[in-house]
Structure formats: structure tokens, C-alpha cells
Amino acid sequence: MMGVEDLLRLTVAALMTRTGERQNDLADGLGLSQAQVSRKQAGRQHWSLEDVDRLAEHFGLHFLDLLAGPTHAVGVLHGSIPALRPADAVAPAAIAQPAAAALFPAEPAAAAAPVGLCVLCGQPTGDELEGFPQHLSAEECAAAVAAVPPAPGPASAPAAPVPAPVPQQLPAEPPAPKPVTPEPAPEVEVEVEPAPELARTGPAVVRGPRAYASGTLVDEITGRVHEVLEECTGDLAAAQAALIKSAIPDVMALFKASRVGGRYEHSEFPPTADVLRKRSQKGADEIWEGRPKWRNPHVFQAARKGETFEVTALDMNAAYLSAFKCWLPIGQLREDTSGVHDRKKSGIHLLTPAEWEHTDLPNPLGNRMEPGELWVSESTLRLLLDCAREGLTDAPVIHRSLVSGGTEVLLEKLRRALAEVRKTALAEGDELTVNYVKSMYSKLVSTLGESTANRDMRRPDWMHIMRAKAFANLWMKANKIHKAGLQVVEISGTDELHVIGDWRTVFAEGRDLNQVKEKQTYTLGGKR
């Protein structure tokens, strides 16, 4: 027999698979440590009712949907199954009491017991487990489901011979004057069958296709494209111009919608630290983002001597959209002079980097030539620390930090929605939507600072962190090429990587976020 907590563990595992989250991501979202999440999922520690509320909030579900099992929860998250509503859980209970009495006439005392819909099978039950109506065994669930169709067998059957597949409504014959709301029936019907099979078919749920974007956000984006296309009477050029013009307010509205029900309340206009202020109208602030511009000196020296190389120029897809998954500070930045990096915080840091001694791999700090201390964002610091852990260099010395509590999932719902719409548009050859999505994510990054084009938020720290994350992602791809034994020839900007060798053994080719595409192949060197 599977208890509620075992079912919850299956549900959490299925939702993590669907959303692509790992235990550390879930732990950050719940305010727990990864070890705590691991123990709870392994059954060495209990999920509490408070944890259930946090899990429901984290995944954007009602707690009843979360407790209804993995098939139902994933379906609600995907948008293919309607969500259970609080009214559905309460209203039918009062109507179901006479039906329950009819099903169990020999026990009049049961009428005094609280009757509700079992969270596993959706049928009436007088039992509760940890405060939730639930049959005490899978056999009871099966019996309750099997008992429903024969119940209206007497003369009262013609009173409700609507569609037979709606088992929940048929028992309620005596109080038929109040037509029972038809909505709960299909919702419960969807989950009646899968619940007893979850223990046997759990792995199939985990292996299902990933469709993890918010259906509401996806619909808003596609709806906006259709709306503008209608306004422009099908003129693609005019529609594209209108969509690009409205990209900034549109993406900010989507971001706000994605934060509804979120665990964190971020600051939109916190005080700006001096190092984040531009020195002039067209000048820059003091943050070094680590933009790369590097060429392999050994390859180019050999090419100048006449050696020939076949080089492939690769292009990274939607670099700034991928950079949405970065550690962002939630509130106002506060000074920290401890010199210790707290991985649960995010911000900007004044540090002295270690020497970079590798000539066949670009410096993670980009093309900076000046030695000494400098201000960097969270993304650059984390990249430098990762390099130190790999033994590529020493850890930087942190002198001063301006940080706030941080999270990696602040933009995650928005990122998923934009990525899902982009993927669908690419598959359908819808370049209008592809360009609209590109305009939204790129302009969000570029206008979060002191830009008059974006009046909804001023977070120059976010802008630097996201831009630096795009540069860091490109460096990590170059490092992956290097580890695979291929040669990195050139790296520049956010998306350009030139390599020598069979790069398809390292990266998948395509236009998805986790793929790269080939721009061109050229010959470097040869006879002068």
C-alpha cells in the first residue's frame, strides 16, 4: 500500500524531471539545504504539511493538485489537465453525504464523520490521513471506484443517464434538484485510473517528454503575436515592427505575471550603489563583465608560418536567453567585507584575480589587460571560483562585496515560456514570433540598467550579472571543447566560438538552447 508521503515523493520526482530542476534548485526554492531535500525524497525524513505548501507554491500548483499524484500534478503543470479548485474539494462534500449514506446504509453513525473526496481516487470517503480525506488503502480506492457505476441500478437510474464515464455524479440521486456542478467530474475522472498505477508506472512518468513552460505565459506571448498580426491585417513587416516596438513593456508585463505567487518579492528600484552609476551620460560604470575577445596565439603563429587548419565557426543559440538562469540578488545590495563568498547571496564584488597562465585557453576575465583589483559581477566571480576548483588557477582574493540574498530561479518561469515559444516557432518556421521573442529577451537584458527605455525596473546589478553570465556560458563551452581534446581558435562576444576538430562529438547541432549551429567553415593559414 502506498501512503500519501510516498505518493508525494513520486510527484516531486516527476515534477523535478518535467521542469529540469535538480535537488539543489528545489532546495533553494524551498529554503532548505540539498541534504534535507535528499533525505526527504529518500524517505529518511518526512515531508511536513508546511513543506507541502512550499512545494505547491514552488511549482505553481494548488496543494490538492500536488497531493493528487504525479500524473495529475504533471498534467496540471503542463496544462493538459484542469486544476482542482478549493471549491471542488468542499462543495461536493456536502452533496456527497446522502450518496455516502446510500452506499453504506448499515452504518448510520458514519454520517457524523467528515465526508470528502479521496485525494487519490476522487471518490467519497469518511476517512482522513494527516488532515486530508483519503481511503486507507489502494484496495479501498479500487472498491470505491468499482462501486460507483452499479449504484444507480434501481429505478432512479434514468434520472441521470448522462455520460457513463462520470462516476462521481451518479451516486447523488436523492438531492437531484440541485444539479451538481459538472466541472469536478472530468477533473476527477482524469486521475481516477492513474492513481492505483503510479507505483507500477512511475518510471514512465519520469521518461515523458519535457513540456515545462507555463501555459498561461506561452498563451500570452502567442496571443500577442496573433493580436498584432490581426491589427496589421496580415502584413508581416508591419507586425514585426509593432512587436519589436512593444517588446520592452511586453516582456516586463510577462516578467511580472511570472512572479505572481512566487516565493520572493524582489526590489524593482533599490538604491543604486556608486560603483553601478555611470560616470557620464554615455559612459560606463565600474563593473567589468568579462567580455571575451581572444585568439589562440599558437594556432595563428603556425598559420603565419604556412601551416593549414580547417576551422569551424560556431554560433551559440539565444545566448542572452540562456543567461536568464543566473544568480540574481533579490533586494538592496548591502556591504560585506568578510572576504568570503556566500553561495546563497548574489551581487557585485571587488577582487584581485589570480594570474592566468594558460595560453591555449582564454582567460575567464575576458580581454582585460590591466592587472590589479577590479569590480566584477556574481556571474564572473562564480566562474573564477569554478576555474579554481578545476585547478586552472588560484581563487581570487575578495576585498569587498555588495550583496543581497540571491536565487537562480527568479527569471526561470519567464525563461521557460520564451524558450518554449521560440522552439515551437522555429519548428513551424514562424520567423515573426522568433524575432519577437529575441527582441524581448535581448532588450530585457540591455534595458535593466539606467535606461530610459525601461521605466518598470532599474537593476543595473541584474544587467551586469546577466551579461556576464552570457560571457561565462561561452567560456564554459570553450573549456568543454578544450577538455575534449579539440583546439579553441577564437572566442568573442556572447556567441562566437571557432574550433579545430570534430565539434559534433562535443555539442549537438541545432537551434535549441542546448545546441549550437555552424556558421561557416574556413581555412586558416597555408601558402602566402
Residue 510's domain comprises: 274-525
Of residues 353 and 126, more confidently modeled: 353
Nearest-CA neighbor of 13 among 158, 203, 183? 203
**pLDDT tens digit sequence for 418-443:** 999 999 999 999 999 999 999 999 99
122 lies in a domain? Answer: yes
Mean pLDDT of 367-387: 95
Specify if 33 maps to a domain: yes
- The pTM assigned to this predicted structure is 0.63
Same domain, 468 and 336: yes
Does 312 score more than 50 pLDDT? yes
Range from 17-21, 360-364, 378-382 carrying the lowest mean pLDDT: 17-21
Q: Is the pLDDT of residue 227 over 60?
A: yes
pLDDT at res. 38: 83
Separation between Cα atoms, residue 189 and residue 181, nearest integer Å:
14
Question: Is the residue at 265 inside a domain?
Answer: no
- Is residue 238 one of the residues assigned to a domain? no
Which band of pLDDT confidence, cut at 50, 70 and 90, is reported for residue 49? confident
- Model pLDDT, residue 173: 43
In a domain, 252, yes or no: no
d(CA 466, CA 36): 30
Q: Mean pLDDT over residues 193-205, rounded?
A: 38
In a domain, 408, yes or no: yes
Structure confidence at residue 36 as a pLDDT band (50, 70, 90) = confident
The band of 5, judged by pLDDT with boundaries at 50, 70 and 90, is: confident
Strands 345-352 and 397-407: antiparallel
pLDDT at 205 over 60: no
Beta-bridge mates of residue 523: 310
**Average pLDDT of the chain, as a whole number:** 81
Where a domain ends, among 165, 185, 211? 211
Total domain count, the chain = 2
Average pLDDT over residues 505-521: 95
Condensed to tens digits (0 to 9), the pLDDT of residues 84-101 reads 865 444 434 443 444 433
| Residues 475 and 403 grouped into a single domain | yes
Identify the band that residue 121 occupies on the pLDDT scale cut at 50, 70 and 90. low
pLDDT number for residue 501: 96
**pLDDT: which is higher, 266 or 92:** 266
Which domain-ending residue is among 211, 233, 251? 211
Q: Crossing angle of helices 431-447/236-245, nearest 10°?
A: 20
Q: Which of residues 157, 189, 211 is at a domain's end?
A: 211
Confidence category of residue 175, pLDDT binned at 50, 70, 90: very low
Residue 59 phi/psi, 5-degree rounding, is -90, 0
Please measure the distance between the N-terminal and C-terminal CA atoms of the chain and give it in whole angstroms. Answer: 78
Q: Report if residue 422 sits inside a domain.
A: yes
pLDDT reported for residue 79: 78
